[in-house]
Amino acid sequence: MDTQKNIAEIEKLEPQSVWKYFAGISAVPRPSKREDKIRTHIHEVVKELNLQAVQDDAGNIVITVPASAGCENAPITVLQGHLDMVPEKNAGTTHDFDNDPIQLILDKDHDGKTIIRANQTTLGADNGIGIAMALAVAASPDIVHGPLELLFTADEEEGMTGANSLTPQSFKGRRLLNLDSEEDDALYMGCAGGCDTNFDWRFPLSKVPAEWETCRVTVSGLRGGHSGGDIHESRGCANKLLVRTLIRSKFGDLRINSINGGSKRNAISREAVATVSGPAGLKNALESAAQTVQQQAIDESVEPNATVTVELINDKDGHAISQEDTQRLLTTLAAIPHGVMGMHPKVDGLVQTSNNLGIIKSELDGNNLLVKAANLSRSSSESRIDETLDQLAAIGELAGANITTGNRYPGWEPDPESPVLNTCKKVYRELFNADPNVAAIHAGLECGIIGQRVGGVDMASFGPRIEGAHSPDERVWVESVQKSWKYLLAVLQTMVK
């Protein structure tokens, strides 16, 4: 693949300034919690534009952009996005997210529309496109706007620690446009809150009899996706399918050597693998269960490429946890809820509450196997998220697991009377001769935290069409970026008045 040729073609697309900045951002590694390189890149851009930027201790950056001539007296508008991206890649891909640039590909979708995707990895349009649009506004002298602050937050995808560190003094503006949405006909006025719950066990290991069979069970080929934006589609969860396969084998003396699946608590797991041991007949029992579960995944979850395989491996010196601990672990993982847990009672089609069993991870620690199961629960209702956390804690207590919670963040309460929202609605209607879809979103946006931490901020969220975020299927539509850019400029011009 000729990466440079692809980038050159992408930078010719309209609006050229947006794609230039997006290509520059994509060339810089920026996984969550490891954003030093992208911050350095942003400061270099700020210096080139002769602007002023302030970085706080959490790694958030605020860039001050003077108003267009004659618009100096307008209120400050904040353009907000996040610096980090979800680093997901397909199995067998050698991409190093800490050092390698994202390989951008200019492509067509099934309808012949132009898209940008990445080569076997997440693209990072979430939220690289939002950052690129904000920088393009700052760099374009012919755009009409009042005073601006560009607020680029850190660690949105893993802990929202950047937004959680904000204070009323972090920035001056009190009307904010969040550029982190993924549907170009939607205006968002609310979002769900969330919280992480981790299950941890320490299981003693013992040597597996040499005559036993040891098998590797692998679940692959799933779509994965965003645990908020895609959870309503009932996509296959590799972690759940792996556990289902092991349980459905109904093999009496099954013992786990290792079990791993998923890599991000906010991404639906696409791949999972376990190594298990047992007496003769294990492989046959697992193969029968794998065949059944694979077909169920295809039928239940619209996962045409779902694959569950069983491979006999040579491990004469293997160690496994006991049959009793294996049973306890598998029944617990089966009991942990995954997917939609409730729909919003007042908003048609909106998921209110969900849980994502995003990660199962095991590692050796001397003569013990440490196992962790990481969940992200979301809800627009504080009482329902409390209920979900209580349910998870109860499951963990019954299973003898150590339970920890963290990274809790509030939802963004919808305000239909928001002046910023009503301005955005008016501009959309005038520009596109249609009403936008005004809604709340089940995915987490930083608006809820910003509203809580800073206070008094009037907000709305919009962005271009992005699909497959948090998975290697992520793609953004070029025509949609053009639409969102046109819309952003019209909103900024209107907000001057």
Which residues are known catalytic residues?
A: 84, 156
Closest CA to 321 of 372, 276, 287, 366: 276
C-alpha neighbours within 13 Å on the C-beta side of residue 198? 13
23: which strand partners? Answer: none
Q: Which residue has the tokens 């160690």?
A: 319
CA 209 distance to own-chain centroid? 42
Q: How far apart are CA 214 and CA 370, in angstroms?
A: 20
Q: How far apart are CA 378 and CA 365, in angstroms?
A: 32
The two three-digit tokens of residue 153, written as one number: 């937050």
C-alpha neighbours within 13 Å on the C-beta side of residue 252? 3
178: which strand partners? Answer: 80, 461
Q: Where are the beta strands (DSSP E) in 172-294?
A: 175-178, 186-191, 193-207, 213-220, 225-226, 255-261, 267-268, 272-278
The two three-digit tokens of residue 1, written as one number: 């693949």
User: Element (H or E) spanning 438, and its range?
Assistant: strand 437-441
Q: How far apart are CA 460 and CA 190, in angstroms?
A: 8
> Between the CA of residue 150 and those of 14, 28, 68, 78, 126, what are the distances in Å?
22, 19, 15, 6, 17
Long-range contacts (CB closer than 8 Å, 24 or more residues apart) made by 10-17: 10/104, 10/106, 10/116, 13/114, 13/478, 14/482, 15/136, 15/481, 15/482, 15/485, 17/136, 17/139, 17/140
Closest CA to 126 of 83, 97, 166: 83
214: which strand partners? Answer: 277, 313
* DSSP character at residue 144: -
**Residue 270: phi, psi to the nearest 5?**
-100, -25
The two three-digit tokens of residue 12, written as one number: 């010719």
Q: Are 358 and 373 in contact (CB under 8 A)?
A: no
> Between the CA of residue 116 and those of 13, 112, 183, 250, 354, what are the distances in Å?
11, 13, 16, 45, 30
- For 437, counting Cβ atoms within 10 Å of its Cβ (0-12 exposed, 13-18 middle, 19+ buried), the class is exposed
**Using CA atoms in the order 422, 431, 172, 39, what is the torsion angle rounded to 10 degrees?**
130
